[in-house]
Each structure stands twice: as structure tokens, then as C-alpha cells.
Amino acid sequence: MHNPQLNKNGELQHLLTIEGLPKAVITRILDTASSFVSIGDREVKKVPLMRGKSVFNLFFENSTRTRTTFEIASKRLSADVINLNIAASSTTKGESLLDTIDNLSAMHADMFVVRHAESGAPYLIAKHLNESGQSHVHVVNAGDGRHAHPTQGLLDMYTIRHYKGDFSNLTVAIVGDVLHSRVARSDIHAMTTLGVPEVRVIGPRTLLPGGLEQMGVRVFTDINEGLTGVDVIIMLRLQNERMSGALLPSAQEFFKSYGLTPERLALAKPDAIVMHPGPMNRGVEIDSAVADGPQAVILPQVTFGIAVRMAVMSILAGT
Amino acid sequence: MHNPQLNKNGELQHLLTIEGLPKAVITRILDTASSFVSIGDREVKKVPLMRGKSVFNLFFENSTRTRTTFEIASKRLSADVINLNIAASSTTKGESLLDTIDNLSAMHADMFVVRHAESGAPYLIAKHLNESGQSHVHVVNAGDGRHAHPTQGLLDMYTIRHYKGDFSNLTVAIVGDVLHSRVARSDIHAMTTLGVPEVRVIGPRTLLPGGLEQMGVRVFTDINEGLTGVDVIIMLRLQNERMSGALLPSAQEFFKSYGLTPERLALAKPDAIVMHPGPMNRGVEIDSAVADGPQAVILPQVTFGIAVRMAVMSILAGT
Amino acid sequence: MHNPQLNKNGELQHLLTIEGLPKAVITRILDTASSFVSIGDREVKKVPLMRGKSVFNLFFENSTRTRTTFEIASKRLSADVINLNIAASSTTKGESLLDTIDNLSAMHADMFVVRHAESGAPYLIAKHLNESGQSHVHVVNAGDGRHAHPTQGLLDMYTIRHYKGDFSNLTVAIVGDVLHSRVARSDIHAMTTLGVPEVRVIGPRTLLPGGLEQMGVRVFTDINEGLTGVDVIIMLRLQNERMSGALLPSAQEFFKSYGLTPERLALAKPDAIVMHPGPMNRGVEIDSAVADGPQAVILPQVTFGIAVRMAVMSILAGT
């Protein structure tokens, strides 16, 4: 099957998932982001790359935080942004998803940033645009169900490259609720493609999906074992709101077994960095002493996230 | 009574309803829209006609779809747009509608785009502005109760003119829930003014308002009869959410009697076009085979709608 | 204790409260606002002073009216504005206030406009930014609990200066629900600093806080006495929604004892002006004949309010 996120020349047409994305495409995004990182420090934080383009933030699921990052990225590229909370809108009038897309596309949309509770929705939209002669309209997946959150994965890669220079000698541990985490999936695919030699996943059996070993990942249920000697620790948010109670004893219990404390961090390499996609549950998956400590790069991740989103959007808009 | 939407020179001051709007004014809007249609295809989809002007979207009734079209039109004219969902705002603090208007006007508003569940609200606002020395502030009716939706009527006229060239030889049929449709009212007034020789209305007696014949309209309760030989078919949305159950048997029943199927469409002229204001209820008022077929111009309507709104706003701003 | 709203050079770093703000700082804001008042009448109502700057409207409490004034002020300064209704966002995901601030700050925010139901929240944010090396990010208090609403206080001072020229010979009366009014507190501090020789407060004992006399204010429970000979009357909104029923008999009762009627207004100087922060409760704290009469300057207050907010924001952005 043709990869719907690449056009016939192998260029990025949509950003749906990191799975199957060629290394050259990922590297180009990271390199482009690099040129945008410094913009944030300038007096005028704008470039005219998307002037007059219309970006629609289509949020079928509420996420102020993610919507904000895309809104800022769009505005710094000088695009016009329209925020649509679709849950409260035409779908309540019984219009189908694809009719909504065709409508907005007819308004000369240039880009849809799509957040959806159902896995595959951005893929469905991109496929429809491609097949109905609207392939000039681009889709960015801003998180779909448990499936993917590619811009988060890309900003994680940017962060790792920024602090570690290179992927080829690293051991990276992902800790926590992997089962419900689209971030974990996106990160694993990205690291595999970029050549990280050892990716570890650490968590209780009940929060680990099947098939991890087949993805080339080493699985640990003991956090002390798993963290030993790693270069990078990616903590996952405990998705309280997504979980049915049966899988998890309690937040305190989780912290006792899998929370990142200074003691556990000491098992990693001395220059290991600590990442988290936010928002953090302090005292649940991460101790405040670590979150605010010198090895945490959680706020730089946010800064890089804007640059990475600007990179993705400007590359798509130029395709 | 003086027509409150025209100033002393007969120029458009507010757009409240198509009823009573001179043919020259309507034609000027359509001609201006024509110059904006091509902007949507440009690399930079913006013109500086309203740079520094403040447009307030005053939505007393939620309508993401209509709000979006005005927001895009405003941004493509380089205006600053402020979205106000008034239901959730000062009226809950007990402030009167006209106090709210005076307040926003004191912030140097240039234009109010007003959507209201009550017929006449935009008229009331325009009258107040005119009488209180604030006639430099313009009002656009974005739909008021069952009364009018003039920009929808204008974009329908634009669409007909685009495909048929001229109004003077046409037979146009409006099909469905005319009783609850402000679109139907706006269309009938526009077509009468523009000289469409035969306007037909098709629907069950319970969904047809009185007084249609006096408006110069031919009434049909049999869709097959009504569609025979027409040039243009305007399907109306079945306003499920506005209807009390008594008027209508069921959606399936309605489709059986009044849904636009390929067979019924075949009764119209071979080059007849099919319009719909959206959002469509597929399988209720329109069959998907027709909605997605070669005679449907439903998506072009959306595209023209942006240009028509830009035309209305830029004409008002220049008055 | 160091005043957290001033930097080491005594320049405005944040605007948190008028209390303790030096006269020179207040006067500079009013003078700067003066230069912005005329912008509202221009064809293009924009200046490029904050082009490329990112302003975040952080509304932890809903207030469309106040949010709108800051949004307009930001856009007229050419800033990019991001509206965040935080109640519905990350705090529901259990993230702390300061984590949210750090996150947005990491997105290269330049300014936070903060509205919060709790007194002191903007102060807490400003303190955190100052102490964590983020003092280039500025905070504007857009109303915190019962504590302060400094931009309202400043626009009131602008209005008084506009109509009365000078503060040094004035008698000003503040009438109504002083207990729940952050506007009253901000006004009293401003007038004390600017040298208004006589400030009166008029209201029922149950709606007057303690300590007024210590602030140098004369207290009246009889409105006729209190209004006699004043130059300026500042009516307060009866905060129905904030009050527990016990303090107040009824709206009609209140109007009978403290409503501003034409008869009572006649007790003030003939050229006295009437102010109100809005939204007004007509027939509760103010008679419509007064609200719409020649001495009311309630709508000019709104106009000046935009200019004052532009002044505050541009001064902060230039620090």
C-alpha cells in the first residue's frame, strides 16, 4: 500500500504517523526546526513563510495545550488560524466528518491540524483529500486515540539530538503507562528509524502492550534494572482520565513502583536527561526533585516543540 | 418607512435582509464577489482592504459553520476579528443587548456580524446604531430566527449566475422545509428582485408557510411535478433540531416523498444544477448519489460564500 | 519587601495592583494612553509596537468583556493573541498553576494577561517568573478576586483627568457595593497617589469594608449627604452574582436607598461626571435617565480603557 503521507516524489504531503517515515524526512524536519529555534528569542518572532495561508485547528477532542502549540506555531509562520471545536459544531447537526472536511476545504483551507479521540481519523481525512483531487490540502495529526502523536515524537527526537548530538550510541528508556500512550508509540518508531541501538520500555505488565519485543524493544518490569546505565529517560504521563480502574492499584502505589525519584535517576548515566511530554503528575510518575532538577529538559522540550511544529507546517506548505 | 440598511445616498449601510434591497445593490455585491473568487487560489490569499478594522462576530446563537465563513472572510480582508459568544457572556450578567452594542462600539468596532435566534435582532441593532450617531458601525445579519440569512441568499444568487449566466430565463425550484427556512425567504426575495421569471416551492403542506403565492411563487406538493423542466434545484436542510415532531412523520417518510434522488433529478433539465446550503442530511433530503454527482454545485457554493462575504464586508467598510 | 511589579530601575515590570505604584509610573501610563486614544479614529487602527510578540490571555475565570478589551488592545499593538480558558484546560488534567505558566513561558510568551477568581494569583505568577529567571515575561492583572483590577482603576483616572484636567481640586464619590469591588480598591489607591484631596465612599454599612477611614476616605451611608458638591461620581456594579443574600434586602430596596437618580445627581456640582465600570444594572444602582444623560461618561470610559490597556502593554513590552 502506498504511504499516504508521502507524495509521488517521496516528499511529505501529510504528517500522520512516524511509522514508516523515511529517515531523510525526519532528519529534514529536525534540521528545519533547528533554524526556527532561534526565532523565539528574536524581537519579532515571526517569519512570513505561511502568510495568507489558512490553517484550521480541527479539534474533535479538547486539548487546549496541544491546540495552543499549533496556534502559536501557525502565527509565528504568519498563517491565519481558525480554531474549530468540532464536537460542539456541525457533527451535532448530523453532518459526516468527510462532508465537514470538504466544506472547509472549499473555503480554501491549506492545512488541517487534526486531533481526534479515534485512532485513524487523520489518516481517513488525508486519504479522502488525496483521492478527491484535494491533495494540495495538508493534514497534520495532532494526536489520534492511542495511535500516534507524531509532532510529540519529533520534538522528543529534536530534544535528544540537541542534548546528545547523535542517536547512534544511546540507550533510551521509556517509563510508565505505555499501553495508553501514543507518545510512546511515536517515540519508538522514531528511534528505530533514527538508529537508536537500545530502546527500553519500563512499566507494570498491565500497562505494557503486546508486541513490544517485535518492535525491537527491551521490556523491563523492574524500574531499577531498566534505568541502569541509560542516556535518556522518557517519562510518560499516567493517563488517569483514560484508564479503567482495574489496570492500576493507585497513584501512590504507582509512584512507589515506577515513580522517577532522585535515587532511581542516579542509576542512569550521570549525564542522563529526563524528558516528559507534560502535563506532569508530580508525585505520581515523577518526583518534583527530579522534575525541577538539573537533568530535566522538560521545558526545553516545550520550546523545541514550537520549532518542530513550525518546521512540519512550513515543509508541508512548501510541498 | 426608511430602509435602515441603506444610507441617504442609497448605498449599503448594513446588510439585514435581501427584502427591499435594490437590484443595483445586489448586482454590485455579486460583481465585487467575482473579483474575490480568484483570491482563494493565490499563494497569499489576503487583500489589505480592511487592515486595522475591527470586526466583531456576535453570535447569540451557536453556529460554528457560519462563524467560520465570516472569520475567514474577515481575515482574508486583513481585518482583526473578535469572536464573542454572547450567550455565555454579558447578557448573563443582566446587561441589555443595546448596552452590549454601545460598549463594543465604544471600543471602536467597525462591524458587527450578528447571529441571533430571534428574528429582528440585527435590525434592532442597526436601528440603534443609526439613531445614536454610530452609523459608521456596520451590521451584517448572519441569520436571525426564521427571518433572513442574506449572505446565504446572495451566495446562492452568485452560484446561479456563475453556472447559468443570467437570471432572466430560469425556472428555479426550492424543495423541502420552507416553513423553518430563512434561506428560502432570502432566496425568494433575491430571485424576485433579480428577475427570475419562475420560482417554485415544493414541499408538504405542513412545511409550507402561508402567503407564498402572494410572493409570486408557484407552490407544488408533488415533487415530480415541481421539478419537471427546472434549471436550478435548491434543496433545503431538514431542520430536525428546530421542528416540533407534529409537523413531520419521519426522516425516512420525508425522503420517500421529497428526497432528491437521481430519478427525480432526471425530471429537471439535463443541465440543471443542484444546490444545498449545508450541512446536508444525506438520505433525508438528498440522496448521496445526487450530493456527490456531477450536477451538484454544493461545494462551489461554499467557495463562493467566502467571496460574497468578503464583498459585503468590504463594500460596507468602504461606505 | 521589594515591590514585585517594578524592576531594579523602578520601571514597570508587571502590572499587579495600583497600590504602591509611584505617581510617576501612573502618570506615564496615562500620558502614553493619551497618544493611543486617537488611534481608534484612524483608518488603520494599528501600530506595530508589539509585532511578533505573543500575548496570552489566561482567564481562569470567565469574563468575555474584559478579555475582549485586552484582545483588542493587543491586536491594535499588532501582537499575536492566544486566548486560553484555563478552567477547561490543563488544570483539569491536574497540572499546577505554575507548571502551566512555565510551559507557556517556554513557548516564548511575552505577556500574560491574568484573570483569576482568587486574590493574589497574578502576584504569585509574577513572583514565580521573577524568581525563576523569566523576568522578561510580563504579567498584567485583569482582575483577581476582590483584590485589584488595576487597568480599570487606570482608565478611571484617565477619564477623570480627561474631563477635569487635574486631580488636585476634586471631590470624588464612589457609590455602592464597595465590599465586593476590586474596582473601588484600585480607584482609591490611584486617587490617593494622584493627590485627589477628598475621596468619599457611599453605601450601606453591610457593603462597606472596614479600614476605609485609614485609607483617607470619608464614609457616608446617606447618599444625599455624600453626593453633595462632588465633581465625580463613580457608581459600582451591584455584584448580584457575588453576593450572599444576607447582606442585601433586594434590588428595588437598594435602588431606593442608593440608586443614582436625576434628583440625587442634582446634588453634585453642575458639571459633575458620572462613571460606571459596566456592565450596568439599570434600575438597580443607576437610573436610565442618568446612564443615558449628558453627564454620563460611561462609554468614553470604555474607549479610554482600550487606550490605557495599550499603554500598559506597550510600556511593559518595552521594559
A106 to B302: CB separation less than 8 angstroms, yes or no = yes
B300 contact residues in A (CB cutoff 8 A): 106
Sign of CA dihedral B295, B298, B299, B300: positive
The pLDDT tens digits of the residues spanning B117-157 come to 888 999 999 999 999 999 999 999 999 988 889 999 999 99
**Spatial CA neighbour of A129 closest among A12, A19, A4, A20:** A4
Please check whether residue A103 touches B, CB under 8 A. Answer: yes
B107 to C44: CB separation less than 8 angstroms, yes or no = no
d(CA C307, CA C155): 8
B95 to C279: CB separation less than 8 angstroms, yes or no = yes
C-beta separation of A83 from A67 below 8 A: yes
Most C CBs within 10 Å: which of B92, B107, B132, B134, as the mutation test of the C interface?
Answer: B107
A241 to C86: CB separation less than 8 angstroms, yes or no = no
* Strand partners for B200: B173, B218
Which residue on chain A is closest to B44 by alpha carbon?
A52
Q: A245: alpha, beta or left, given left = phi > 0 and alpha = psi -120 to 50? A: alpha
d(CA C159, CA C168): 15
Distances (CA, A) of C184 to A22, A264, B93, B179, C180: 63, 54, 19, 53, 9
The pLDDT tens digits of the residues spanning A155-175 come to 999 999 999 999 999 999 999
Please check whether residue B132 touches C, CB under 8 A. Answer: no
pLDDT of residue C245: 60
Residue B154: phi and psi, rounded to 5, are -70, -40
The pLDDT tens digits of the residues spanning A241-300 come to 655 566 666 888 899 999 999 999 999 999 999 999 999 999 999 999 999 999 999 999
pLDDT band at C1 (very low <50, low <70, confident <90, very high): very low
A82 to B72: CB separation less than 8 angstroms, yes or no = yes
d(CA A148, CA A21): 13
Q: Is A152 assigned a ligand-binding role in the annotation?
A: yes
**Mean pLDDT across the stretch C284-300?**
97
From the list B51, B53, B99, the residue facing C279 with the nearest CB is: B99
**Mean pLDDT across the stretch B171-182?**
94
Whole-prediction pTM value? Answer: 0.94
Please check whether residue C252 touches A, CB under 8 A. Answer: no
Please check whether residue C51 touches B, CB under 8 A. Answer: no
pLDDT of residue A90: 46
Q: Is A295 assigned a ligand-binding role in the annotation?
A: no
Please check whether residue C240 touches B, CB under 8 A. Answer: yes
B96 contact residues in C (CB cutoff 8 A): 282
**Mean pLDDT across the stretch C130-146?**
93
B75 contact residues in A (CB cutoff 8 A): 54, 80, 82
B93 to C279: CB separation less than 8 angstroms, yes or no = yes
Listed in sequence order, the residues at least 6 apart from B244 whose beta carbon sits closer than 8 Å to its beta carbon are none
Interface B-C, measured as beta-carbon pairs within 8 A, has a size of 71
A84 to B68: CB separation less than 8 angstroms, yes or no = yes
Quote the percentage of chain B above a pLDDT of 90.
Answer: 77
Instruction: Look at A97-106, B32-41, B87-96, C218-227 and tell me which has the smallest mean pLDDT.
Output: B87-96
The pLDDT tens digits of the residues spanning B276-306 come to 999 999 999 999 999 999 999 999 999 999 9
From the list A46, A278, A282, the residue facing C52 with the nearest CB is: A46
Q: Which alpha helices (DSSP H) does C12-63 contain, by range?
A: 23-37
Please check whether residue B300 touches A, CB under 8 A. Answer: yes
A302 to C88: CB separation less than 8 angstroms, yes or no = no
C72 to B54: CB separation less than 8 angstroms, yes or no = yes
A84 contact residues in B (CB cutoff 8 A): 64, 68
Taking each helix axis from N to C end, the angle separating B121-131 and B97-106, rounded to the nearest 10 degrees, works out to 50
Which residue on chain B is closest to C40 by alpha carbon?
B108
Going by the DSSP 8-state scheme, the letter that residue B33 receives in this structure is H
Sign of CA dihedral B188, B189, B190, B196: positive
The dihedral formed by the CA atoms of B301, B307, B311 and B312, expressed in degrees to the nearest 10 = 50
Asked if pLDDT for residue A101 goes beyond 90, the answer is: yes
ipTM associated with this complex: 0.92
From the list C45, C62, C282, the residue facing B54 with the nearest CB is: C45
From the list C42, C44, C303, the residue facing B107 with the nearest CB is: C303
Q: Which alpha helices (DSSP H) does B23-170 contain, by range?
A: 23-37, 64-76, 97-106, 121-131, 150-164
Q: In angstroms, what separates the C-alpha of C144 from chain A's closest C-alpha? A: 22
d(CA B122, CA B18): 13
B306 contact residues in A (CB cutoff 8 A): 107-108
**Mean pLDDT across the stretch C44-52?**
94
Task: Annotate B271-295 with b (16+ C-beta within 10 A) or e (fewer).
Answer: ebbbbbbbbbbbebbbbeebbeeeb
From the list B53, B82, B94, the residue facing C281 with the nearest CB is: B94
pLDDT band at A92 (very low <50, low <70, confident <90, very high): very low
Place of cell 480607584: C187
Place of cell 485513524: A120
The dihedral formed by the CA atoms of B33, B59, B71 and B239, expressed in degrees to the nearest 10 = -60
d(CA C74, CA C63): 17
Please check whether residue C89 touches A, CB under 8 A. Answer: yes
Strand blocks (E) in chain B: 54-59, 80-85, 111-116, 138-144, 171-175, 198-202, 217-220, 232-235, 273-275
